[in-house]
């Protein structure tokens, strides 16, 4: 079954492309989810008309993602964490912690978009990748510092 994609679909294709998919996949998933329409002569003719609109929409989305990436790249955040000997943390700094710190700076980032190669378990400076769009990634400077133990002992 030939379909025209209305949105970008991971591992399948980009918005506006005509692709061949299994009948069940097209009828039961892509078309009901409004991700695609059947590629009949009427829809193909309409696609040619809407292609400029689709390209403009994709360009606008990419531009806004690049602007957001630029804003995120300017950030330098600091997280205080409890640590023991040899600067090892009690636990680790997670993507959720990083997302909360970025949110405090006024930029809302989903924790699932923060890419950590490995858990952060030591004090120090790190560069963390944030995936803004499927092909736009920003880097945030992260400083993990020791939490001050300013408790007054009597």
Burial (CB < 10 A; 0-12, 13-18, 19+), residue 30, is buried
* pLDDT band, residue 22 (cuts 50/70/90): very high
pLDDT of residue 27: 93
**Domain with 101 in it:** 71-146
Is the domain of 57 the same as that of 107? no
Residue 26 included in any domain: yes
Is the domain of 55 the same as that of 27? yes
Query: Above 70 in pLDDT, residue 154?
Result: no
Is the domain of 59 the same as that of 88? no
pLDDT single digits (tens) 42-100 = 888 887 777 778 778 888 988 988 988 898 888 899 999 888 888 888 889 999 999 99
Give the CATH number of the domain where residue 15 resides: 3.40.5.10
Give the CATH number of the domain where residue 139 resides: 3.10.430.100
């Amino acid at each position: 079954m030939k379909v025209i994609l209305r949105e970008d679909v991971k591992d399948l294709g980009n918005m506006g492309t005509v692709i061949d998919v299994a009948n069940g996949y097209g009828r039961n998933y892509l078309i009901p989810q409004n991700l695609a329409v059947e590629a009949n002569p009427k829809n193909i003719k309409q696609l040619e008309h809407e292609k400029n609109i689709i390209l403009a929409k994709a360009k606008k989305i990419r531009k806004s993602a690049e602007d957001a990436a630029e804003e995120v790249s300017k950030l330098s955040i600091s997280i205080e964490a409890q640590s023991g000997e040899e600067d090892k943390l009690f636990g680790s700094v997670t993507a959720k912690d990083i997302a909360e710190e970025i949110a405090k700076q006024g930029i809302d980032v989903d924790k699932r978009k923060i890419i950590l190669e490995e858990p952060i378990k030591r004090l120090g400076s790190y560069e963390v990748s944030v995936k803004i769009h499927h092909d736009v990634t920003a880097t945030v400077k992260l400083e993990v510092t020791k939490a001050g133990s300013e408790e007054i002992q009597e």
